[in-house]
């Protein structure tokens, strides 16, 4: 499955995150292991995160009030395929 640049960037960010987890912040989602505050690093928008969830590449810890975005096994495979192509 070919991804557009933003979902691909988000998927690779989640793949590189500790435990494959992005945490919720005011602006969207970020990798807490890379930067203790969202201001210091890449922030993934909620729209992009929702696109990954809709594609089955990621899932929320709680679908109603999410605080974490986890990469799924399909997401890991897709990220590895992207990294293998690079």
Sheet strands (E) in the chain: 21-25, 28-30, 43-44, 58-60, 68-71
Query: What pLDDT score was predicted for residue 33?
Result: 79
Q: How far apart are CA 28 and CA 66, in angstroms?
A: 11
Task: Quickly state the pLDDT bin for 76 (edges 50, 70, 90).
Answer: very high
Structural domains of the chain, ranges and CATH numbers in brackets: 5-85 (1.10.10)
Print burial letters for 14-45: b (CB count within 10 Å at least 16), e (below 16).
bbebeebbbbbeeebbbbbeeeeebeeebbbe
The average confidence (pLDDT) of the chain is 89
pTM of the model: 0.87
Cα-Cα-Cα-Cα torsion 40, 46, 80, 82, nearest 10 degrees, comes to: -90
pLDDT digits (tens, 9 = 90+) for 24-60: 988 899 888 776 666 667 789 999 999 999 999 999 9
């Amino acid at each position: 499955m070919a991804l557009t640049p933003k979902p691909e960037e988000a998927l690779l960010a989640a793949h590189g995150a500790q435990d494959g987890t992005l945490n919720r912040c005011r602006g969207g989602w970020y990798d807490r292991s890379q930067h203790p505050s969202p201001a210091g690093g890449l922030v993934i928008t909620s729209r992009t995160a929702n696109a990954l969830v809709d594609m089955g590449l990621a899932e929320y810890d709680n679908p109603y009030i999410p605080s974490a975005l986890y990469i799924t096994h399909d997401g890991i495979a897709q990220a590895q395929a992207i990294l293998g192509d690079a």
